[in-house]
Structure 1
Amino acid sequence: MARPNLPTYSICSLNDNATLSNDIIADHFSHYLEVHKDLHFPHRHSFYHLVYFTKGTGNHSIDFIRFPVEAGQIYFMNPGQIHTWDFKAEPEGFIINFLDHYVNALLADAKYLQKFSFFAGIANRQVVMIPKVARPKMHTLLQTIVDESNTSNEMKDDLIRVCLIQVFIETERYTTKAETKTNRYNSTLLRNFQQLIEEHYKEFRLTKDYAAMLYVTPNHLNALSKDLTGSSSGELIRNRVLLEAKRLLINAEINISGIANELNFEDNSYFSKFFKKYEGVTPEVFRNKYK
């Protein structure tokens, strides 16, 4: 029997607010959950997504990594990532879904969102705890966005954009202190490496390929990766391949051979051995977990 496709939600499919464009949704989280009771999990988004919790218990996952729900937590997701929720108590907070060009309409830099570590597409960097002393300010910013989204005020979208960018900047200041102390050149080099992995992981699997594109030696790139992430450059490349394999495995109608081909493995057997070595189970067992 064919399994259903993994749903991918667009803003158009979720927007019930006639005062908003189809570029953004802003709401109190409890109301959003009430309106969208038919959300299926796991799922993908075709937009950027953030949630700030003011209360609640349970967990959520980003690309198969689980995080506990806590008051003061804000998380971000990029388009295409896999998401699930499992709340134990009714959560409260704010949710904002937006397209990149909604923010970029106010900016000259089309790659502005890439400045923020939580938009790098790495799940462990996408969940940030806001200190208690900073939470009233965060609450005010998000409340302003929700309030403005329900008006027809002149230039309301520009005010929403300004508040949203301020949310990004305030959050970035509370990311891991180790990263903020990192040499700016090294931090930029790592981010460029991660972006290249995102673009080329299907075709290039060796550190030397990426080192050549970055005009550094493989040893330097490997040392940099270990120093800043705790993982070797080879592990970062491999983890991205493994992540895409997981995404494809729960996304229904493509068979194992098709996934192996999509990820440029020599054959189905080689892909299965790769997956079991690093995930601990076969692709079939992993897929069955999400039926």
Structure 2
Amino acid sequence: MSKAFIPTYDICSLAMGRPASEDILVARFSAYLAVHKDIHFPHRHSFYHLVFFTAGGGSHTIDFERFPVKPGQLYFMIPGQVHSWFFSGKTEGYVMNVSADFFNAFLQDAEYVERFPFFSGVSAEGVVQLPKATAPVVTQLFEEMLKEIRGEQVYSQDLLRLKVLEMFIQVSRASRQKHAKQEPPHNYVLLRNFRKLVDQHYMQLHLPKDYAARLYVTPNYLNAFCRHMLGKSAGEIIRDRVLLEAKRLLINADMSIASIAYQLSFEDNSYFTKFFKKYAGVTPEEFRKNIS
């Protein structure tokens, strides 16, 4: 397949023989790889995607950030993120593809799933190394999901929803226990709202004051808050989102550098090139050449 663009897969295209109307797929990872042998190159999903590794090595890349594959590791991806992988040795575990609609018939709060920290859309936050005590719990939940995915008993879909949500909660608890300092809940709400606004408006709004006004806080407070929570200023978070989208667009060889600069609201091609070189370490042309 040409690397001139990033393909986007929906659940139906990766269904492994399941009915096209399904909103969820759960499978053993080795079986998934055997059916979809050519999805190691960069691609996106239109659904939530996660893999739990129980054996294997190699690496997987999420939004151009590379992570080593380790047993006991989960990675979570939200729709639209770009990823690829390279495995060494026998890789085993479990894979889940699930649409947002899968939960909508069950939960009154449409944003409930987005609140889990591993679904922030930040690559490093979506990779979780489970404590040894939690890995068997997650393994057992996946085994129970594999039974329910067959849909042979009444209420199978509802029980499957419960198992998926229980797994999300168990992983969230385990990952937060690793951090000694626990933030008050309202801090996570503000952080999630800021990130959501950035994801919606980063092409047009590049200044922290624009987001602070929408969050009803001062720019100084927003910057201090972001440094406290993430070790970065609000401006850096906005800049990182613009840089990430630039990298995603650069994979499309049919888009000119000037077109990308215009889409990202840069004044001109020269300013965009200087911005990209400063923060990515290479020019847009060099980045494109390296990934081709």
TM bracket (short chain): over 0.9
1:209 aligns with 2:210: yes
In the alignment, which residue of structure 2 is the partner of 1:147?
147
How far, CA to CA, are the matches of 1:133 and 1:93 in structure 2?
A: 17
Q: Which amino acid aligns with 1:215?
A: Y
Pair 106,239 (structure 1): closer, same or farther in 2 beyond 3 Å:
same
In the alignment, which residue of structure 2 is the partner of 1:104?
104
8 Å CA contact 1:57–1:68 kept in 2: the answer is yes
1:239 aligns with 2:240: yes
In the alignment, which residue of structure 2 is the partner of 1:82?
82
TM-score by length of 1: 0.95
Q: Which runs of 5+ in 2 are unaligned?
A: none
SS at match of 2:211: helix
Give 1:20 deviation, angstroms.
7.1
In the alignment, which residue of structure 2 is the partner of 1:250?
251
CA offsets per residue over residues 214-252 of structure 1, 9 Å max, x none?
Answer: 111111110110111011111000000000000111133
Give 1:3 deviation, angstroms.
5.7
Counterparts of 1:1-291 in structure 2, within 5 Å, are 4-18=4-18, 21-176=21-176, 177-178=178-179, 181-291=182-292
SS at match of 1:174: helix
* Runs of 4+ with deviation above 6 angstroms: none
Give 1:4 deviation, angstroms.
3.0
SS at match of 1:253: coil
Q: Which amino acid aligns with 1:249?
A: L
How far, CA to CA, are the matches of 1:42 and 1:149 in structure 2?
A: 28
Pair 179,207 (structure 1): closer, same or farther in 2 beyond 3 Å:
farther
SS at match of 1:97: strand
Pair 163,217 (structure 1): closer, same or farther in 2 beyond 3 Å:
same
How far, CA to CA, are the matches of 2:282 and 2:110 in structure 1?
A: 41
SS at match of 1:138: helix
How far, CA to CA, are the matches of 1:179 and 1:196 in structure 2?
A: 29
Percent sequence identity over aligned pairs = 51
8 Å CA contact 2:262–2:268 kept in 1: the answer is yes
CA offsets per residue over residues 39-83 of structure 1, 9 Å max, x none?
Answer: 251111111101001111111011111111111111100111010
Q: Which runs of 5+ in 1 are unaligned?
A: none
Number of matched residues?
A: 290
Q: CA RMSD in A?
A: 1.6
How far, CA to CA, are the matches of 1:85 and 1:173 in structure 2?
A: 27
How far, CA to CA, are the matches of 1:20 and 1:175 in structure 2?
A: 34
8 Å CA contact 2:4–2:251 kept in 1: the answer is no
Give 1:267 deviation, angstroms.
1.2
Pair 59,196 (structure 1): closer, same or farther in 2 beyond 3 Å:
same
Q: Which amino acid aligns with 1:218?
A: P
Q: Which amino acid aligns with 2:230?
A: T
